[in-house]
Chains A and B, each alone.
Chain A
Amino acid sequence: MPDSAIQFDQLLQRCMGNVDFADRLLTKFISRLPGDVDELKSSIQQGSPDEVARVAHRIKGACASVAADRMKDVAEELEAEGRGGQIDEPMDWMDRIESEADRLLTTVNQYQLERSNSN
């Protein structure tokens, strides 16, 4: 699993080297992440594997797009669990999701702070 929450070089490549666009994209991604995470946790609590798989899949896609590989991997594992029809150890899953989401938010906030300081 990669160390950084976001692979910035990959993200920049997908943004065709446009740093400002990458920044705007990350802002949009981060603004939506807490809502998505809440939805995912709620579906786990409700014990609804189909819903877990659906939300996890959506998060996986968004994370893959912005090269948030760690969070993407977690979402992918959870999606597979959901498709299997059962979520084992739901509390552990919620901890992992929350922890990765926090890490992701911190990384992006730090990146954007550094960007604004350097401008």
Chain B
Amino acid sequence: MRVLVVDDDEVSAELLKHALEQFGYDVTIAFDGCEAFRLVRTGEFRMVVTDWEMPEMNGLELCRHIREKAASGYVYIILLTSNSGTQNIVQGLEAGADDYIVKPFEPEELSLRLRVGQRVLTLESRDLIIFSLAKLADSRDPQTGAHLERMREYCRILAKHLATLPRFSEVVDGDYVQLIYLTSPLHDIGKVGIPDQVLLKPGKLTTEEFEIMKQHTVIGGETLDAAAAAHPEARFLKMARDIAWTHHERFDGSGYPKGIQGYDIPLSGRIVAVADVYDALTSSRVYKPAYSHETAKDIILEGRGTHFDPEIVDAFLATEAQFVEVAEQLDSSDLFSGDGSLLPSS
């Protein structure tokens, strides 16, 4: 992994470079903040170890610049400085540093701190991999436009609202909100296994074709079942699996693939069901125009207690203004605008 060392003192920079190279890092030195920021903007560095006091742009300003302007991915920043004391540490972390080490460094400690940084960056990579997989599935059905982006925003809105309700507070916390935001784009991953003539058919599906289409929940569910079994510690895989299996189940048991009902349907599946249907209704398809928010809302209200969990519908009603806002902001026409909107914003 490449690490950018930033220090105006050549001796300190060389010492740090030598230690990091012994730990297997590929190290580049910048002698001031401006040069460091230029290098970070190349997108080639995800880990920065910087001094605080430097001429031109100091370490705190560098942190702020990276947080404001570097856009190619998260950059993990360690402030390595002889400015000790709680007040300085707080100031450094507030400027955007992820970690703070007081000079002189101990090689073993530095190595461990860098490993923490690598773990954080790996988590971000996980987010990107998940989203890439979902986009791959989605790419087979290009008519759905920015469906995934809107879907996960809707899921986040609903989950955040549920988190404020006493009945859900034990289950839905900030971590749950983040997980559903992360995993809901995988709901249709099973579509990779549906033949083109069914998946891309412009008109209405025959009964037989619909049966084939329904299999996307099984294909996706079984795929993620296997992944979750292989990595039992990964909560996000369990939630992704639940969503893939159950997002077409209905509260009254009339859905598919298993026909489970009520609270046997995992909460994540009940949330995604509302988000998915709302987006399908308010988006245009080859076989139908986009419905207005009011029409979509009426249809969802009709399904309260039959198709949908009544409490999730209530959450939808409480947050409908946010749904409208997301639908307007993430219009399908913006999908290929190249503005970075496809990247996770978590």
Contact = CB atoms under 8 A, between A and B. Distances in A.
B15 A14 contact: yes
A14 B10 contact: no
Interface stretch (A38-46, A64-72, A91-99, A103-111): A64-72
Contact of B15 (A58, A60, A66): A66
A115 interface: no
A60 B82 contact: yes
A32 to B, nearest CB: 7
Interface stretch (B102-110, B114-122, B209-217, B219-227): B102-110
A58 B53 contact: yes
Contacts of A4: none
Interface of A is mostly: helix
A62 B18 contact: no
Interface residues of A, number: 22
A18 interface: yes
A31 B60 CA distance: 29
A60 to B, nearest CB: 5
B11 interface: yes
Interface string A54-92: 100110111011110000000010000000000000000
Contacts of A64: 12, 82, 103-104
A32 B18 contact: no
Interface in A1-53: 10, 13-16, 18, 21, 25, 28-29, 32
B18 A16 contact: yes
B15 A65 contact: yes
Contacts of B82: 57, 60-61, 64, 76
A35 B39 CA distance: 29
Contact of A15 (B7, B18, B51): B18
B11 A18 contact: no
A76 B12 CA distance: 16
Interface string B73-111: 000000001100000000000000000000111110000
B11 A66 contact: yes
A67 B104 contact: yes
Given A14-B105, A16-B107, A60-B82, A65 B9 contact: yes
Nearest to A21: B18
Contact of A18 (B18, B53, B81, B105): B18
A18 to B, nearest CB: 7
B8 interface: yes
Interface in B113-150: none
B104 A65 contact: yes
Contacts of B9: 58, 61-62, 65
Q: Indicate the member of A13, A18, A21, A62 with the most B CB atoms within 10 Å.
A: A62
B11 A16 contact: no
B22 interface: yes
Contacts of B11: 25, 28-29, 32, 62, 65-66
Contacts of A18: 18
Nearest to A27: B11
B335 interface: no
A29 B14 CA distance: 11
Interface of B: 7-12, 14-15, 18-19, 22, 51, 53, 81-82, 103-107
6 contacts: A14-B107, A15-B19, A25-B11, A32-B10, A61-B9, A61-B103
Given A62-B9, A65-B9, 7 more contacts: A14-B15, A14-B105, A28-B14, A62-B12, A64-B82, A65-B11, A65-B12
Per CB-CB distance, the 8 closest pairs between chain A and chain B, nearest first, are A65-B12, A64-B104, A16-B22, A64-B103, A29-B11, A61-B82, A62-B11, A62-B9
